[in-house]
Structure 1
Amino acid sequence: MITAIAIVTDGLVYAAWLFVVAIGLTLIFGVMKILNVAHGAFYAFGAYAAATAIGLYFDRGWPVAGGYLAIATAAIAIGLVMGYILERVFLRRVYGRDEVVVVLITYALFLILEDVLILIWGTDGRSAYQPYTEAGSFTVGGLPLSVYDIGLVGFAGLLAIAASYTIKKTTFGRLLTAVIYDRETAAAFGVDVSRVYTVTFLVGAVLGALGGALTAPKISVTPGLGVEVIVLAFAVVAIGGMGSMEGALVGALIVGLFRAGAVHLIPQLELFSIYAVMALVLVFRPQGLFSRAQPRKI
């Protein structure tokens, strides 16, 4: 029973973290048709910015609760700045080009930003454990659980609800839907597609940075952490379906639970289990579990 509880809780925590990272990636692809490899850089910069902000905050002895606000502020600031620069300076020039060209450009940006990160923060690792430890823990069936981890699961759930509501119930969500299905027709009806692209990329960048910022208190922040994350995020969106919010959620849950099961039952297969699930899904559903129907122009 304890093992089962551990698998479920660890799986949900891992899935929540993956969902926060992957939802920004799938949003950008769904609207802009850009497979943004630079999303891993947003994650890494968010983690470093949060670690720095947390260190500065707690060194001054300020109230613990404000540390969580420092995490969110650092992620939003770094996501907005980086997202705006990348979209305005680089990506805006390549809209409408072959998708392979755009992928190569975002990959080049990712490599450049990895070096910029080292230039700013150096090669030494950074820790920002205070928000994690200060949150405390509790036990369920004899199994200790971190309040911070449970809070991360709750945040991911609220994010999923907010994303669904925004897409289905708001004016901007309807504009997004129109641009997703037919950019040219949406523009012909007066939709400012360029503005929609900019806002979408900024939101995706903030979500990527937020994923890194929320992870910073749980790990030692070191150079190269964006590489593994972008591969895992691609696995999640490939399982769920590129551009699908529901797919990102389900894909994260599948990956999280399978990985947790492997960790507790067959640790040697931890990494293999993630890609085995992805391969199995893609064999039967190459487009992913929740891929959108593609409109056919006549």
Structure 2
Amino acid sequence: MTNITEPARDWSAVAAAWDANVEEVDLLSFEATAALFDRVAVQPGDRVLELAAGPGTLGATWSQLVGPSGTVVLSDIAPGMVETAHRRNAVLDNVEVAVLDASAIDRPDGSFDVVACRMGLMFTPDPSAALAEIRRVLAPAGRVGALTWAGIEHNPWMTCVGIAAMMNGLVSGGPPVGPGSIFSLSNPVELESLVKGAGFLDVKVEEFAIAFRADDIDSHVDRVSSLAGPLAAAFEAATQEQHAAVRRTAAELAAQYITDDGVEIPGRAILVSGRV
């Protein structure tokens, strides 16, 4: 069995897979991402920090929004992701790419007008500490926006793969709801309280439906397992028999979402936003 550890290593290992698939994945969360941009209300001249930016696909959009007088820092804890983001954004003069840990952001107080994070805050071992750091590096009137996943029951796109992997011995440790896990910030009431507790004002929590589509369940399993850093290592180490067993189990768990046209499995994201 493979334990889910060392986030920087795990996410660096899937950087190439993200680079190859991220446009398709970004389309799935288009509505939620558009809302994130809207809530942080980037203005020309703003200084933007994106945490857990992965392969940096939002770099061009941030760059255009801040204009030539603004600056953008795309960051990730995983060096492999940062290398990919650098390649994607090398031609943008107002975009910097850096390895940064959301729990200890290596930038001075008040360095940014906007801090955004898509599907990364829940992976921090101490989200309160991460939010305190975000609050610290934001200037007066600064804005924050973060996307996380809603509860397990709302995200069968992930659970059908994760549970199948657990049932067939690829991973251990129970449902990923503890600190640093994918569903650790899935309660909207608790998330709102956490952000308010960090000192943010006008905190707003919203939810967005996301549909994961694939030609068949095998394609869905392959995509999820190749992109999910903590799972990817487990699938890499699995035998062919285990891979086949996971696909069979996932097909059983997701049977209600399989049609003659393929598979469409629902998901739900949470967007939390606020200001200093």
TM over 0.5: no
Bigger radius of gyration among the two: 1
Higher strand share: 2
TM-score (norm 2): 0.25
- In the superposition, the TM-score normalised over structure 1's length comes to 0.23
